[in-house]
Structure formats: C-alpha cells, structure tokens
C-alpha cells in the first residue's frame, strides 16, 4: 500500500496549495498531464531526476482516490 502522505504534500505556500510531490514543486496535475500526453514513465523520471517510480504510482493513486471521493454516492454518466 502506498503511503500518500509520505509522497504527496499540500502546502498553501507551495504552488498555491496544489498537491505536489513532497519535497518538490512538481504538481500531481503536471505529472498526470505528462502521462496523459503519452510521455513514458522513463521519460518523466529522466526529466525530473528527483522523482522515483513510487512517486508516479503515488500520483496515480492520489488521482484515483480523489476521483473515488468525487463519484461516491453521485450518479454519473459517461458521455458517448
């Protein structure tokens, strides 16, 4: 199990309180955008040497957890 609190931080003084990789100014959103854009894990890790593979897994787990909280108890439809 990934300890998100150990890897993701939300600090109002860093990047306006956006969730970031702890100890960096790299936001969860930025990493998700790179992944969605087709940038590979290897490329992201090469571009950001301070990141480790577990940071990328934490970003995905954080996004999934946030999505789950948004959709629990709320019916939704997937647009075709």
pTM of the model: 0.80
- Residue 61 · residue 4 · CB < 8 Å: yes
Output the pLDDT for position 68.
Answer: 83
- Residue 48 · residue 26 · CB < 8 Å: yes
Q: Quick check: is 76 in a domain?
A: no
Expressed as residue numbers, the domain containing 36 is 4-71
* pLDDT tens, N- to C-terminus, the chain (80 residues): 788 899 999 999 999 999 999 999 999 999 999 999 999 999 999 999 999 999 999 999 999 998 887 776 555 555 54
Region for residue 73 given its phi and psi (left: phi exceeds 0; alpha: psi -120 to 50; beta: otherwise): left
CATH number where 14 lies = 1.10.10.10
Domain count along the chain: 1
């Amino acid at each position: 199990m990934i300890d998100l609190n150990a890897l993701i931080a939300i600090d109002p003084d860093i990047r306006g309180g956006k969730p970031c990789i702890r100890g960096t100014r790299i936001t969860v959103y930025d990493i998700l955008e790179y992944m969605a854009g087709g940038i590979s894990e290897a490329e992201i890790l090469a571009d950001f040497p301070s990141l480790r593979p577990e940071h990328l897994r934490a970003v995905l787990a954080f996004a999934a957890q946030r999505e789950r909280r948004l959709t629990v108890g709320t019916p939704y439809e997937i647009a075709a």
